[in-house]
Structure formats: C-alpha cells, structure tokens
Chains A and B, each alone.
Chain A
C-alpha cells in the first residue's frame, strides 16, 4: 500500500541534498511521489533471491596501477579560474570562526 509522504519528509530529503523547495514545489513533488512509489512496487514483482547487485555493465578489470608520474596538471590559475571568490591562491568562503 502506497503511503503519502509528508511535505516535511520530502523537505528533509531535499535538505539532505543541500537545497530547498517551495511549498508549491513540494505539492507537486508529493503528487509525483505517489506515482514513483507505485513504480517502485514493480521492483518487488521480480524475485531477486540470491542475485548479486550489478554495479557496472562489465565486471572486467580496466584499471591498473600506473607509475607515479605527474600528468594532466592544472596550474593554480586554472584550478581557481571558475571559483567565485579567491584570495592568495585559495578559494574564499564566508568566515567560519567569527
């Protein structure tokens, strides 16, 4: 039986992802969550007893240990190029200790 998720619960999920939603948006999400949960019930129609989770399409080794050589380096200027605020080679954020 699908239960209606409360707006508080949905807002909590949003906060876990570090964003907020308006009341109107939560109304819409609440409605769509009902459908989503019904779709999720379809997973239970499949017997997965003893089946291992599949994490990637091909379970073959494509990684290896490489030599510890410096490659694909970004300069300090490049690394900071997209930050909104920088100071003395660092990214600047609001004061933590006041």
Chain B
C-alpha cells in the first residue's frame, strides 16, 4: 500500500483528501480521531521530499506524539489545550520521508488502558463491529488503518498497546526492539517499558515503517546505535527450517474454540511450509506474575513521569487559592478515574514500606521472566501464541474474572515483550463472528529481520493481508 501511494505521489493531494473524507465520514461511527490536521502546509512542501519512502502517503499519529503547533492531548482533559512547541523525533523523520499526517488518533487516556474506553473524547469503536471495542491504548490508530483511512499509523506500546488493538482490528501491529525508535517527544507512560510502535495492513509496509522510524537519536538516552537493515528488500517469506516455539501456557489457558481452531490451522500450515514446531512451557507462576509485575512497574514509573501535569506550566488549569491547590484541583478534574486509579497503585508501590516487597520485587520478577524468555529463544527463532483469547470484547460488556489464567496469562503474556524489549508483532490469523483474531510472534533482541520474515511467512499461510473493514 505504501509503495503504491508513494509511486502515485503526483496525485498525493487527491489521495490525502480521499483519506480525510473517509475519516470524516466514519468518525461519527468509530470516533477514532481527536484532532483533524489540515495537510495544506505539508503538501506544499511535498516537492522537497518527493523521493521519500512515504512520499505523499497519508498517515495518522497517536495523540501522545508531540506535533509542533498542533494540539496534542493524549486523550486527557488535562492536556485538552496543550499545543506543543516542538516535534517528536519520529514526526521529523516521517516528514523527511514525505508522509502527510492527517489526524491525531484517540487513545486510552495517557496510554493507560487496553480498551480505548477511557479516552476523554469517548470510546473508539471497532471498524469490524461498532458495538465492540477497538482495543487500546492505541485504538484510534488501529481503527484508522483497519477501516482503510490510512495505510500506516503510529502507536505506542507499554504493555501490548499496539499489538492488542492490532489483533482486535485485523491489522499488523509492530513493537520493535526497545531502543530501535526514539521516544523523544512522545508523552510517556512508563519509561522502562514504553516503545514507539505502528500499524500497517501488511508485512511489507511494516518493513518500510521501521526503515523510516529506526535509528539513533541523542535526545533519547535509551536510543540504540545499532545499524538499521533494509528490511523491505531483505524480506524472505520462506518458513523452511524456521524454528517456531508455541507458548503452551497461553494455548492451554485459552478456552475459546474459534481461537484455538484458527491458531491450530495456522500452525499446521506453517508446518506444511517446512517450519519446525515445538511447544515451550514456561513456569506458570512466572506467567501468572506478569500482570502484577507490569502494574507495579508501569504505575510506579507513571506516577513519577506525570508529576509535571499540574496545570501550571501547561495543560488545563483549575483555580485555587494556593499553588498547591491549583495543582490538586487541576489534577482532580483533569484526570479520569482510571488514570487516578493507576496513580494510586503507583503511589502504593512507592510507599517506603511497600517499595521492597512490591516495586523492587516486581523488578526482580521482571528479570526472571526475561531470563526465561532469553533461554526459550536460544532454541527457536520465535515464540508464537494467539494475541488474545477472543475477538474484541463488547464496549458494554460483562466484567471478566481478573484472577483466572485466561486473563492473567492469555490476555497479558505479550507484556513479556515490554519487559524484555524484544521485538514483537501481531498479525491477523482468522475470523470469529465476522471479527478478526490475531497471532503474536516475538523474536530475539534487534532481530526484526527474522520477525518480518516470519510475519511474511504467516501472511502467506493465512492469506490475510490488506484487510479493510467497511464501517457500517
């Protein structure tokens, strides 16, 4: 898709307008956009970047990506009036390659959530079934790609926030290795887990995306110096001799027959293509500890990261008789309840009496989980499992039991990719009740080349690529 649009750069204006028109048309139904961006200035400068890898390609940015002069809210009331005075590093990279951003996409407030139900502007609906959620936190971006508005959209992934909505929306969701893409100018959630990620509708476009976004940036102290391969020209979909490790704990925890059936069919096809399949069983106590480990680390880090959202230096300000009162009132009214809950969890973990038994304990468990992954990946090229146990849940759905393995393990195992920083991606693998099901693969650190190759192999097995949902 990206290549096609790039080759049609002469009609960029029309292609961009078509994307904007579609986004407006479906906005009342899916609510994926927070702010529409007038592309005239970007189009006026397109001639200077007409040979870029994304020349004239309309794209969307998650609304936690700072865009100079364009409102950036992170879907939070407290940032409703925030207009950045600088661009995130990736915005400059995308512009340099000719991409035209047309929308700032909805997300769970401050990226804290997996449903996209907590956005200040309201829930984002799934383009395949608007009674269902898009997933989150990068739900707006996923929905805009899935509905055919744009072929590429930026998301961020702290605990599967690209890969889960990708599964629910039937698109490709990539979380590359920690350090591959600079996070300078991205409103953070939890710095040791935050990754920039993105959505496309096929693996080839995913390769192009990383070629554009990856590389060292001195302004992000965790940014890697590793060379960035030419992923798209190296792409090789052969599965012959590839070693695939099924995460047995996840497949055992899944109760939904349609998911197991789609996954087993995919595995059979991969085997027929010459892949060597084996099952890998982790210590279940480690996998059941993923969610509490994540909650502790992410929310403790978030509590510190967001202490600057106080209505004083930027953001919506509420009146008060003292500076302290202004801050408390601004934060009380500026944050939704879900965000305040997460801060309370963080505050709890950082209390002196809890630091060792909760926060430090979680960091120690994190190391053990990562060591177990590292060990498992010594014998295989990738770990594979269904990205979710079911299709996207209903927006007005029933509460789930958060202590069952189906939730703790099957719905949260992808966080291992954030703990380890290893590259991980989700692709469509089938359908249930007219909605997509996704499969997730995770590879060794900085080996996105293998991840994309396996992704292309999976795409050939399923035949599911370039899917577009007609929003009804």
Chain A residues engaging chain B, CB cutoff 8 angstroms: 10, 13-21, 25, 28-29, 32, 35-36, 38-40, 42-46, 48, 51-58, 62-63, 66, 72, 74, 78-79, 81-85, 91, 93-94, 96
Contact = CB atoms under 8 A, between A and B. Distances in A.
A26 to B, nearest CB: 10
Nearest to B316: A84
A18 B289 contact: no
Contact of A53 (B291, B343, B345, B367): B367
B337 A25 contact: yes
A83 to B, nearest CB: 6
B403 A39 contact: yes
Contacts of B230: none
B221 A82 contact: no
Contacts of B331: 17-19
Size bin of chain B's contact surface: 35 or more
A83 B85 CA distance: 12
Contacts of A14: 340, 343-344, 347
B361 A43 contact: yes
A43 B310 contact: no
Interface string B211-230: 00000001101111100000
Contacts of A48: 361, 364-365, 368
Contacts of B344: 10, 13-14, 17, 21, 29
Given A78-B85, A84-B317, A17 B222 contact: no
B313 A91 contact: yes
B82 A43 contact: no
Contacts of B363: 53-55
Nearest to A50: B364
Given A54-B367, A62-B224, 10 more contacts: A14-B340, A14-B343, A18-B310, A21-B340, A35-B403, A38-B403, A39-B295, A56-B178, A62-B223, A63-B221
Contacts of A52: 364, 367
B303 interface: yes
Interface stretch (B120-128, B233-241, B319-327, B434-442): B319-327
Q: Which A-B residue pairs are the 6 nearest by beta carbons?
A: A57-B421, A53-B363, A82-B314, A48-B364, A54-B367, A84-B317
Given A58-B445, A82-B83, A53 B332 contact: no
Interface of B: 81-83, 85-86, 178-179, 192, 218-219, 221-225, 285-286, 288-289, 291-293, 295-296, 303, 307, 310-315, 317, 320-328, 331-332, 335, 337, 340-341, 343-348, 351, 358, 360-368, 370, 402-403, 408, 419-421, 445
16 contacts: A13-B348, A14-B343, A14-B347, A21-B337, A39-B295, A39-B408, A40-B296, A45-B288, A46-B286, A46-B289, A72-B219, A78-B85, A78-B86, A82-B314, A84-B311, A91-B313
Contact of B291 (A16, A39, A54): A39
A35 B341 CA distance: 13
B303 A17 contact: yes
A69 B117 CA distance: 45
A43 B205 CA distance: 39
A16 B347 contact: yes
Contacts of B343: 14, 17, 19
Contact of A62 (B83, B221, B332, B365): B221
A10 to B, nearest CB: 6
Given A19-B335, A62-B222, A96-B322, A13 B365 contact: no
Nearest to B362: A43
Given A18-B327, A53-B364, A91-B312, A45 B285 contact: yes
B314 A83 contact: yes
Contacts of A40: 292, 295-296, 358
Contacts of B403: 35, 38-39
Contacts of B335: 19
Contacts of B288: 42, 45
Nearest to B407: A39
A18 B328 contact: yes
A95 B7 CA distance: 60
B346 A17 contact: yes
A42 B360 CA distance: 14
A46 B178 CA distance: 25
Given A19-B343, A52-B364, A63-B221, A45 B348 contact: no
